[in-house]
Amino acid sequence: MKKPALFRVFALFLVISSLHAFQSDELDEEFGLEGGNLQPQEQILDPVVPTRSTPTRGKYSDSDSDSKIQITLEQAFGDSDFFPAATFSARLKTWSHGAQTLTKLRFSRNSFTEVEKQKFQKLLEEDEFYRIRLPSNVLNPTGKDFVISSVRARCLPRDGLDEHFVIHTEGVNILAVNYGSPGACPYPRQLRFPAKWSFNSHTVLKNSEQAPRTPTFAEDVPGELGEGETVPPPERSFWAKYWMYLIPLGLIVMNAMTQAMNLPEEQATGQSGAQPAAAIQRGPSPAVRRR
């Protein structure tokens, strides 16, 4: 399984580099999967402004069958009804174990008509919601269950209208769509009209991330608090190891030295002790003078 996957990635690289002419560089899900399974399985699709149907089918020689499906993105201005605005085309991949997943999502957006432009301008002025929705079940849309997302219209305009989709899927079901501006949308939101009325779309397809495994240790390794296993600390300098002994020692030595220095002094004063005593007796001390 590993070899074909690697081969596929390699082939994909070739394809990506060869597809540079038209601005769609798509990543397959295997791309993110190999290597780190802790990474979220993301597919990043860069803006595909006008989509062209690219003959990608031939590149895959899998036994897994896959088919193409179309998902309609609907939009609403404020509290209006939803009507189609764009289509996602995706590939439905059926794995050998029966599970189906959506891959290779591609997006084509209809640009705003004049009426829609006016409606959007009104939204911008009122700081209202621009809402989108996708069917939650893409295989057989019941027309009932939709995942909805909305954004304050003022978050979208930059040069054009920048939008960012994050589509969370679970198998063939769309769990949620997160819609918003690709960057920040600081509050309070300023009224700003886009320079050009074309959408600049980014789409990310997200699958569930795998939870990290609980670490397992052999029986003997950790103690109750994990203290048992301490790696011998790196060799420290003599000073770092024994400073707590050295400092008191130094202090004692210093103390002893000062005492030793005082001793001869005292002896010296002791010898001449009689004189100052006599002097005190003779001359009255300042304290005495105060009285």
Partner 1 sequence: MAMAIRSLLIFLCIQSIAVPTFSLYEDQAGLMDWHQKYIGKVKHAVFQTQKTGRKRVLVSTEENVIASLDLRHGEIFWRHVLGTDDAIDGIDIAMGKYLITLSSEGSILRAWNLPDGQMWWESFLQGSSDSKSFLFVPTSSKVDKDNTILVFGKGSLHAVSSIHGDIVWKVDFPDESFEVQEVIQHHDSNIIYVVGFVGSSHFDVYQINAKNGELLKHDSAAFDGGFSGEVSLVSKAKLVVLDAARSTLLTISFQKGEISFQKTYISDLVKGFSGIAMILPSKLTGLFAVKTITATTFISMSSEGQLEVVDKINHATVISDALSFSEDRQAFALVQHGDSDIHLNVKQNHDWSSDLLKERIKLNQQRGFVHRVFMNNYVRTDKSHGFRALIVMEDHSLLLLQQGEIVWSREDGLASIIGVTTSELPVEKEGVSVAKVEQNLFEWLKEHMLKVKGALMLASAEDLAAIQGMGLRSSEKSKMTRDHNGFRKLLIVLTNSGKLFALHTGDGRIVWSLLLNSLRQSEACENPTGINVYQWQVPHHHAMDENPSVLVVGRCKPSSDALGIFSFVDTYTGKELKSFGLDHSIAQVIQLPFTDSTEQHLHLLIDTSGQAHLYPRTPEAVSIFQLEFSNIYWYSVEADNGVIKGHGLKSNCDGEVANNYCFGAREVWSIVFPLETEKIITTITRKSNEVVHTQAKVVADQDVMYKYISKNLLFVATVSPKASGDIGSATPEESHLVVYVVDTVTGRILHRMNHHGSQGPVHAVFSENWIVYHHFNLRAHRYEMTVIEIYDQSRADNKDVWKIVLGKHNLTSPMSSYSRPGVTTKSQSYYFTQSVKAISVTSTAKGITSKHLLIGTIGDQVLAMDKRFFDPRRSVNPTQSEKEEGILPLTDSLPIIPQSYVTHALKVEGLRGIVTVPAKLESATLVFTHGVDLFFTRLAPSRTYDSLTEDFSYALLLITIVALLVAIFVTWVLSEKKDLSDKWR
Interface residue list for partner 1 (CB under 8 A) = 40, 79, 127, 129, 131, 136-137, 145-152, 155, 164, 166, 168, 170-171, 173-176, 178, 180-187, 189, 206, 208-217, 222, 224-227, 229-231, 233, 239-240, 243-244, 247, 277, 280-281, 285, 287-288
Between residues 35 and 215, which has the closer beta carbon with respect to partner 1? 215
**Is the C-alpha dihedral spanning 229, 232, 234, 238 positive or negative?**
positive
Between residues 53 and 217, which has the closer beta carbon with respect to partner 1? 217
Between residues 19 and 166, which has the closer beta carbon with respect to partner 1? 166
For 38, the token pair is: 């802790």
Min CB(166)–partner 1 separation in Å: 7
Min CB(252)–partner 1 separation in Å: 18
Min CB(150)–partner 1 separation in Å: 5
Between residues 114 and 235, which has the closer beta carbon with respect to partner 1? 235
Q: Residue 13's CB: how many other CB atoms inside 10 A?
A: 11
Closest CA to 130 of 138, 141, 142, 119: 119
Min CB(148)–partner 1 separation in Å: 4
Distance CA 35, CA 37 (A): 6
Number of alpha carbons in the 13 Å side-chain half-sphere of residue 114: 0
Number of alpha carbons in the 13 Å side-chain half-sphere of residue 286: 0
For residue 191, the SS3 value is coil
Between residues 1 and 288, which has the closer beta carbon with respect to partner 1? 288
Between residues 32 and 180, which has the closer beta carbon with respect to partner 1? 180
Min CB(183)–partner 1 separation in Å: 6
- From residue 196, how far is each of 30, 74, 183 by CA, in Å? 36, 22, 18
Min CB(117)–partner 1 separation in Å: 22
Distance CA 219, CA 241 (A): 33
Number of alpha carbons in the 13 Å side-chain half-sphere of residue 143: 1
